[in-house]
Structure 1
Amino acid sequence: MMELYDDPAQMEPLVIDSSRPAYDALIGLAHELSEASACLDAALAPATAKSLSELVSGMNCYYSNLIEGHHTLPIDIEKALFEVKEQVAQQDLQNLAVAHIEADRWAKSQSLNKSSLLPFILEVHQRFCERLPKEMLKLKDGSYMDPGIFRERDVSVGIHVAPRADMLNRFLERFTEVYGLRLEWSKKGGISKLDGILTTFAAHHRIVWIHPFLDGNGRVARITIDAMLRECGVNCACLWSISRGFAKTAEEYKAKLAGADQPRMGDLDGRGNLSEKRLAEFCEYAMQTAIDQAKFMARMFALDNFRFRAEHFFQKVRFDLKPESAYLFIHAFATGEFERMEASRLTGLPERTARDVLNALVIEGFLVSDTPRGKVRVGFPMHALGSLLPNLYPAGDLDVDPQALRQLIKADKADKASAAARNVLVHNMKIK
C-alpha cells in the first residue's frame, strides 16, 4: 500500500504562480469567464434573474447528484424547490434533492474569507447530510457517517490515497490559509480578481484531493467552488451551472481531477510535490467548461431567442391556454415584473378575461409572485422546460404524464381556493 500523505508540503503547488509558463493563458481564460458571466448578469432584469436563479439551483442539484451516480428527476427537484411534501416514488432521491438545494441556498447567503472558508465547508456538509435519511448515510463498512464531521480514519479513492486522518487538520489549515487569502485579494479587482478566479479552480481539485469527509466530498466541493467564484465576482446572480458542464463531460472531469493527483513529472514540471502541468490542465478544462456554460445560458435567454420559443410554445404546444398568455409571459421575462391589474392592458382583453388568463399562468407556474396579490414575474415550470428551454435537462427526464399534470394543477387550484377562503375568513373576523 502507498504511504499516506502526512505533510501539507506534499500537496504543493496549491496555485499556478505568475512566473510559470501556463499562467498568462489561464489568466486569459479567467478574464473570458468573468466577462461572459457579467454579460449574462447584465442582460436580464433583476426579477427575471431571480426566477432563473431558482431554476439553476435545481440544475445544480440534478447535475451534481448525477456526477455521483444519483439520478434525481427534475420533477422531484421542482417539488423540493417549492417544498411540496406529498409522498412520491423514490423518496430517498427527493430527500437527496431537498438536502442539496437547502445546502446550496444557505451557501448563497455566505461570504468567504480566510477565517470563514473552513467553517463554511463543514457547515455545507452538515446541512447537506443532516437532511438525508439514515440509510443514505450508511457507509460500505456498515458504519454511519456523522454530518459535518471531518473523517477520523484513512481512506483511498480509486488509486488516490488521501492524506492521513490524524494530519487532516494541517492540510485543511494550509488549504484555507492559501485559498482564503487569495479570495480576500480578489476584492482588489484587476489581476488580483483574475488570479482569484484561477485559484478557485485549483482549490476545487485540492479539496477533492484532501477528501476531508468519509462521503459527500464531491457535492460539497461543487457547492464550494460556486461560492468561491461568487466571492471573486463571478456568477453572483447564480444564472449558470458549472455542475451541468462537469456532468456533461463527466468522464473528462474525473480524468482531469485524477490527472492533477499525479506526482511531479521532471524538472520542468514546477517545484512542488504534485504535477503543476496536470493542475494547470485541470484549471484550463474547468474554466473552459464554465465559460461554455455561461455562454450557453446567455444564448438561451437572449430576448429574441426566448420570445421565439415562447410564442411557438403557446401557439403550438399549449394551445389549450389563450394565445394572449404569451404576451404576459414574454412581458414578464423582458421587464422583470408587472402589476396584476396590467393584464388587461397588456393582452387587450376585458378585465375579467385577462384576470383569468393571468391566474391560469400563475397556477401552472409560468408567472410567480412572492405574495397572493403582489407583482408577478416570469416562472420556469419544469413541465414546460423541454419546449421553452431545450437542453437544460435531458429530454426524457422532463417527460410529464399529462394526466399527472392535470391532477397537479387541480390540486394546486384546490390549495389556492382553500387559502383564499381562509384569508376571507380572517378578514371578516378582523372586521367584526
Structure 2
Amino acid sequence: MSNDAVEAPSRIEPLFFEEQVPRVLADLVGEIQQEVTTLGRDLHPDSADELADLVRMMNCYYSNLIEGHDTRPRDIERALANQELDPERRPLALEARAHVLVQRAIDRAFLEGRLPSATSIAFVKWVHKSFYEEMPAEFRFVRHPDDSTRPIVPGQFRSAAEDDVQVGRHLPPSSDRVPDFMAHFERRFGAAENWASARVIAIASAHHRLNYIHPFIDGNGRVSRLMSHAMALRAGIGGGGLWSISRGLARGLRDRGEYKRMMDHADSPRQGDRDGRGNLSEKALQDFCEWMLSVMLDQVRFAKAAFRFETLNDRYRRLLLDLGHDDRAAKLVAAVLRFGQVERGDAHVVLKTSERTARNTMSKLVQEGFLKSSTPKGAVRVGFPLDYRERLFPNLFADAPIEAPEPPGVSFGG
C-alpha cells in the first residue's frame, strides 16, 4: 500500500455493508432488539435503577480487566463512596471510579434526552476528557520504550510525531492525520443513525474502527467501550442499563482471548476483488461484527436470566434465611423488589404484624444493606450489598454457575 493510501481517511473503509446487509447480521440485530424488549420487564423501575448502578460497576470492572487492571469490586464501591483506600489499591480503584462516573453521566444525558451522536468528535473527546480528568496521577502519562514519559492531555487527540504509535502489528495513522480520519469517522457513522439496523451494526464496526485510528495516546480501548455503550442507548437496545458490553468483550463467547484475536482479524487488508471495495477486508469486518453482535446478544440473555424477578427474589429469600433472617425479612424485600419502594410506616401492613416487629425487621435489613433509604425516615428501596453479590447474582464478577442460555453459535472466520 502506498504512503498516500496509508494516510488517506478512506483507509478505514469499509465501515458498513452498504449494498446489502449480510443476513446473519440482520438476524442478530433482530434477536437483540427482541430480547431487549423483555429485559427487566417484571422489575419495578426503581429496582431496575438500583441494578443498573451495579451493572455500571460491573462494566467498569470488566473494561479495566481488559486493560490488565484487576480491581476488586469492594474497592470500586469504596472509591465511589469517597472512603479511605489501601494505598496499593488506590490508583486502580480511582481509575474504576472515573469509568463509573463517566458512564453515569452518559446514562443521565440519555435519560434527559441530550445524549449526542456517540460517534461525533465532540462526544469522543468529551468521554476521554471526562475520564482522564478523574484519573489518578499514576495513570495520566505514558512511558515510551526509552523510559521517557509524556503526559496525557484529557480530550486531546494525538498531534505530534512523538505520539505516533504501533499497536501489535497494527500501525495507526500518523498523529498529524488523526483529525482527518476522525472527521471521516464522524461523517460516515453519523449517516448510519438514519437506519435502525445500521445503528446496531455500527456499534460493532465503529468500535473496531475507532481503535484502528487510535486517536489518543492512551485510553482508546476504554473510550471505545464507553462509546459503544452510548451507541447502544441511542440505538434503542440499552435495556435500561441492565446489560454490559464490556463483560461480554472481556469473557468472549468461548474464551477470554477472542476480543484481541477478533480485533486483530478485523485489521486485515482487502483480500482480492471479491472482498469489498475498501482498503480493509469486508469479510473480516463481517466476521468481527458477527462476533461482537453475538457477544451482545449473549450478554442480554445473561442479564435476562440473572435479573428475572422470580429467580432474583428466590435467591434473595434463600440468602436471607441462610443469614438467620426469618420469612418476614424475605417478604419485605420481595415487596420492595416488586413495588420499587415501601414507606416505613407501611411495613407492618405488608408484613401483617405489629409496627414494632415491622420496624425491627426493617432496621436490621437497612443496617445490613439489603434495604436502603435516602433519609433516616424516608421510604426504603432494595439494596444489593457487594458482600453477597455472588449469592444474588452468580457469575456477575466471577465464574459461578447461573441458569442462562448457551452463547450463540458463531461462524466467524479466523
What TM-score do the two structures reach when normalised by structure 2? Answer: 0.88
Q: Match for residue 42 of structure 1?
A: 41
Instruction: Map Cα deviations across residues 348-391 of structure 1 (whole Å, 9 max, x no partner).
Output: 33212211221222233212233433322212111111111111
Q: Percent identity?
A: 38
Match of 2:276 in 1: 270
1:106-255 matches, cutoff 5 A: 106-110=105-109, 111-113=114-116, 117-141=120-144, 142-152=149-159, 153-183=163-193, 185=194, 192-249=195-252, 250-255=256-261
After alignment, is 141-150 or 85-94 more displaced?
85-94
SS in 1 for 2:143: coil
Any conservation in 2 of the 1:2–1:161 contact (CA below 8 Å)?
no
Matched, 1:25 2:4: no
- SS of 1:156's partner is coil
Q: Give the conservation status (yes or no) of the 8 Å contact 2:119–2:227.
A: no
Q: Distance in 2 between matches of 1:390 and 1:55?
A: 13
- Tell me, yes or no, if the aligned pair for 2:344 and 2:380 is still in contact at 8 Å: yes
User: Is this contact kept in 1: 2:119–2:189, CA < 8 A?
Assistant: no
Could you give the per-residue CA deviations for residues 174-207 of structure 1, whole angstroms, max 9, x where no partner exists? 1111112222x1xxxxxx2122111221111111
Q: Does 1:92 align with 2:91?
A: yes
Equivalent in 304, 314, 325 of residue 310 of structure 2: 304
Which residue matches 1:328? 332
Rounded to whole Å, the distance in 1 between the matches of 2:379 and 2:197 is 38
Deviation at 1:29, TM superposition (A): 0.5
* Local SS of the residue matching 1:40: coil
2:290 counterpart residue number: 284
Q: Partner residue of 1:429?
A: none
The answer as to whether partners of 2:79 and 2:85 remain within 8 angstroms in 1 is: no
Could you say what secondary structure the match of 1:270 adopts? coil
Secondary structure, counterpart of 1:373 in structure 2: coil
Aligned letter for 2:176?
A: D
Q: Deviations over 1:302-339 (max 9, x none)?
A: 222122212211112x11x3442111112211222221
The answer to whether the 8 Å contact 1:44/1:334 transfers is: yes
SS of 2:381 mapped into structure 1: strand
CA contact (8 A) 1:337 1:375 kept: yes
Secondary structure of 1:391's counterpart equals coil
**Secondary structure at the residue paired with 2:240?**
coil
Q: Residue 306 of structure 2 contacts residue 312 of structure 2 at CA under 8 Å; is this kept in 1?
A: yes
**Is the 2:192–2:199 contact (alpha carbons within 8 Å) kept by the matching residues of 1?**
yes
Letter of the aligned partner of 2:86 in structure 1? V
| Change beyond 3 A, Cα 1:31–1:48 | same
- Cα distance in 2, alignment partners of residues 19 and 389 from structure 1: 40
Structure 2 partner of 1:422: none
Name the CA shift for 1:242/1:115 in 2 (closer, same or farther; >3 Å). closer
Aligned residue in 1 for 2:410: none
> Partner letter of residue 105 of structure 1?
R
What residue in structure 1 maps to residue 379 of structure 2?
A: 375
Q: Shift of the alpha carbon at 1:105?
A: 1.2
| Structure 1 residue 395, shift from structure 2 partner | 6.2
- The structure where helix makes up a greater share of residues is 1
Q: Structure 1 residues 374, 194: CA separation in 2 closer, same or farther (over 3 Å shift)?
A: farther
Unaligned runs of at least 5 residues, structure 2 = 401-414
Q: Which runs of 5+ in 1 are unaligned?
A: 186-191, 397-432
Q: 1:106 to 1:60 in 2, by over 3 A?
A: same
- Relative to structure 1, is the Cα distance of residues 395 and 280 closer, same or farther in structure 2, using a 3 angstrom cutoff? closer
Q: Residues 389-424 of structure 1: CA distance to partner in whole angstroms, max 9, x if unpaired? A: 11101169xxxxxxxxxxxxxxxxxxxxxxxxxxxx
1:16 matched to which residue of 2?
Answer: 17
Relative distance call for 1:225 and 1:27 in structure 2 (3 A) is: same
**Does residue 59 of the first structure (1) align with residue 58 of the second (2)?**
yes
Aligned to 1:375, the other structure's residue is in SS state coil
> Secondary structure, in 3 states, of the residue corresponding to 2:334?
helix
Cα deviation, 1:27-62, whole Å, max 9, x if unaligned, reads 110111111112104332111110011011101110
Residues 145 and 313 of structure 1: is their aligned pair in 2 closer, same or farther, counting only changes over 3 Å? same
Moved more, 244-253 or 369-378: 369-378
Q: Aligned-pair distance for 1:78? A: 1.8
Once residues 60 and 211 of structure 1 are traced to their aligned partners in structure 2, the CA distance between those partners, rounded to angstroms, is 22
Structure 1 residue 77 displacement after superposition: 1.6
* CA distance in structure 1 between the aligned counterparts of 2:118 and 2:235, rounded to whole angstroms: 16
The residue number in structure 1 matching 2:262 is 256
Matched residue SS, 1:139 = strand
Measured in 1, the distance between the counterparts of 2:11 and 2:399 equals: 45
Q: Are 2:39 and 2:239, in contact at CA under 8 Å, matched by a contact in 1?
A: no
1:280 offset after TM fit, Å?
Answer: 0.8
Relative distance call for 1:2 and 1:147 in structure 2 (3 A) is: farther
CA distance in 2, matches of 1:5, 1:80: 43
Contact 1:41 1:235 (8 Å CA) reproduced? no
Q: Number of residue pairs matched?
A: 384
Write the letter of the residue equivalent to 1:348.
K
Distance in structure 1 (CA, Å) of the matches to 2:290 and 2:397: 25
Task: Classify the secondary structure of the residue corresponding to 2:203.
Answer: helix
> TM-score with structure 1 length normalisation?
0.84
SS of the aligned residue for 1:143 comes to strand
> In the alignment, is the contact (CA less than 8 A) between 2:158 and 2:176 conserved in 1?
no
